[in-house]
Amino acid sequence: MSFKSPIICLDVNLTGVNITTGAASASATIPNNQAGQVAKYVRIAATANAHVKVGKTTATATATDMLVTPNEAIILNVTGSDTIAAIQDSAAGTVNVVPIEWA
């Protein structure tokens, strides 16, 4: 009988990008994966409540886009996108975006 672990492992071996949030939307290029291509999946974390949006070529985050809070991290499928934008919710902070791959 073989046993398969229910644990999914993620490789986070590359440098990501930080987006400083403020009253206006700020954006960054989605980081590349180990193959040098735009990542298909990213892990997003924030130091203060922020709203994020992904897009192709450009992205502008608004107060009604996906909320990321400091006590959670979001794994997001960004296939087909190359830009991520963030805007503060009520206070400035930093949104960290790191490329991930399934191990």
The pLDDT of residue 13 is 73
Range 10-102: architecture per CATH: Sandwich (2.60)
Calculate the average pLDDT of the chain: 90
- CA-angle at 87, arms to 95 and 82, nearest 5°: 65
Query: Which pLDDT tens digit goes with each residue over 51-100?
Result: 999 999 999 999 999 999 999 999 999 999 999 999 999 999 999 999 98
| Cα 72 to chain centroid, rounded | 12
Q: How far apart are the first and last CA of the chain?
A: 23
Structural domain boundaries in the chain: 10-102
